Amino acid sequence: MQLRIDPDLHRPATTARPRLAFVGLGWIGRNRMQAIADQGGIDIVALADPSEDCVAEAAALIPGVLVGRTLADALAAKPDGVVIASPSALHAAQAIEALEAGCAVFCQKPLGRNAHEARAVVAAARKVDRLLAVDLSYRGTRALQMMHEGIRAGDIGQVFALDLVFHNAYGPEKPWFYDKALSGGGPLIDLGVHLVDAALWLLDFPRIVKVTGQIFRQGSNVVEDDKVEDYATASLTTGAGAAVNLACSWRLHAGVEARIEIHAHGTEGGLSLTNPGGGFYDFALHRHNETTTEPLLLPPDDWGGRMAQAWVRQLSVDAGFDPAAEQLISLSEIIDRIYASSRSGG
């Protein structure tokens, strides 16, 4: 993909009060817009969505804002950054278009439907020297942050295994999620992306030497190429020999709305992130030592827009390319490897 770089790009690396545009204004887009607005220190200059109702609902919160239907409409306002919450099939192309226009980008996950798309976006950000981040929102939970801090500090010794699950008793409402050409896949790319990212982040992005996976659709592990799965499981092995096991699903008979758990097993203890009550928003963290358990963190925690707010704070200081964006490629590559393993039978 050839990048078209505007020769007039001369925006400073530091943007003390960023001017932001929001593209994609469904529930998640409006939620992130509200979180960023509540933090302050920004100006919202443009909103765009093909749905007039979505635009109108968001615009009611921002008097006088420029409204439109497309990314091009939003870019006409010359924003410093663009927050993208459109369907997955549009993420890569819209992110590249915004980057080429000189904007920093904060995109909903996944960055691309596959690693090829993710690489193209990261390459664009690197070439134009613009900040790029993806809303891997569970990194914003205090429970996962404390788990990360504890592992890095050696609180449970050497971590030799992680077990992660994200089971959703429901499924997405919008039809495009079930069209593989539009979504890239089912719960593995929708929910499993958070599990794979959490595992990589907790273990400081290790080299993954082995990947095996299985996907299922309506109880069968034979999934046609144009269909999306409803259940996925995978095992990863790091270069240091640590084992990572994960499973995720839509419409599982879970007995609760959701089961979201991350268990870190160390040589000197264990840490467990769970969702007490079986909801989507409340998380707890416990430490285990042999037969005893100690609570480290209990709900509540207002975390939903925390990663978006962090992106804005970084943009306010430095709008240049952050090398951490390279990790987004590794994340997409592993998901591709899980799908490939499932097709090849492991």
Are 225 and 129 contained in the same domain? no
pLDDT, tens digit, 9 for 90 and up, residues 264-285: 999 999 999 999 999 999 999 9
- As a whole number of Å, the end-to-end CA separation of the chain is 32
Are 207 and 265 contained in the same domain? yes
pLDDT for residue 15: 63
Are 133 and 146 contained in the same domain? no
Are 224 and 267 contained in the same domain? yes
Asked whether residue 32 is assigned to any structural domain, the reply reads yes
Task: Report the CATH number that the domain containing residue 33 is assigned in CATH.
Answer: 3.40.50.720
Asked whether residue 338 is assigned to any structural domain, the reply reads no
Q: What is the DSSP letter of 128?
A: H
Asked whether residue 8 is assigned to any structural domain, the reply reads no
Are 133 and 153 contained in the same domain? no
Helices (H), 203-302: none
pLDDT for residue 126: 98
Asked whether residue 73 is assigned to any structural domain, the reply reads yes
In this structure, which amino acid lies at residue 143?
A: A
pLDDT for residue 343: 87
For residue 11, pLDDT over 70 is answered with: no
pLDDT for residue 1: 31
> Where does residue 258 rank: exposed (0-12), middle (13-18), buried (19+ CB within 10 A)?
buried
pLDDT for residue 295: 98
Are 113 and 156 contained in the same domain? no
Q: How many domains does the chain have?
A: 2
The residue range of the domain holding 169 is 142-302
Average model confidence (pLDDT) for the chain? 94
Are 147 and 282 contained in the same domain? yes
Are 147 and 244 contained in the same domain? yes
Asked whether residue 258 is assigned to any structural domain, the reply reads yes
Print burial letters for 11-20: b (CB count within 10 Å at least 16), e (below 16).
eeeebeebbb
pLDDT, tens digit, 9 for 90 and up, residues 98-111: 999 999 999 999 99
Q: How confident is the model at residue 134 (pLDDT cuts 50, 70, 90)?
A: very high
Task: Report the CATH number that the domain containing residue 151 is assigned in CATH.
Answer: 3.30.360.10
Asked whether residue 155 is assigned to any structural domain, the reply reads yes
pTM attached to this predicted model:
0.93
**Of 257 and 1, the one with more pLDDT:** 257
Q: Can you tell me the mean pLDDT for 185-192?
A: 97
Are 226 and 261 contained in the same domain? yes
CA-nearest of 99, 131, 343 to 232 is 343
Q: Can you tell me the mean pLDDT for 82-110?
A: 98
Are 263 and 237 contained in the same domain? yes
Specify whether the CB–CB gap between 195 and 166 falls below 8 A.
yes
Query: What percentage of the chain exceeds 90 in pLDDT?
Result: 92
Are 150 and 297 contained in the same domain? yes
Are 224 and 82 contained in the same domain? no
Asked whether residue 340 is assigned to any structural domain, the reply reads no
Assign 3-state DSSP to the chain and report helix, strand, coil percentages, each to 5.
35, 25, 40
pLDDT, tens digit, 9 for 90 and up, residues 194-236: 999 999 999 999 999 999 999 999 999 988 888 999 999 999 9
pLDDT for residue 105: 98
pLDDT for residue 6: 39
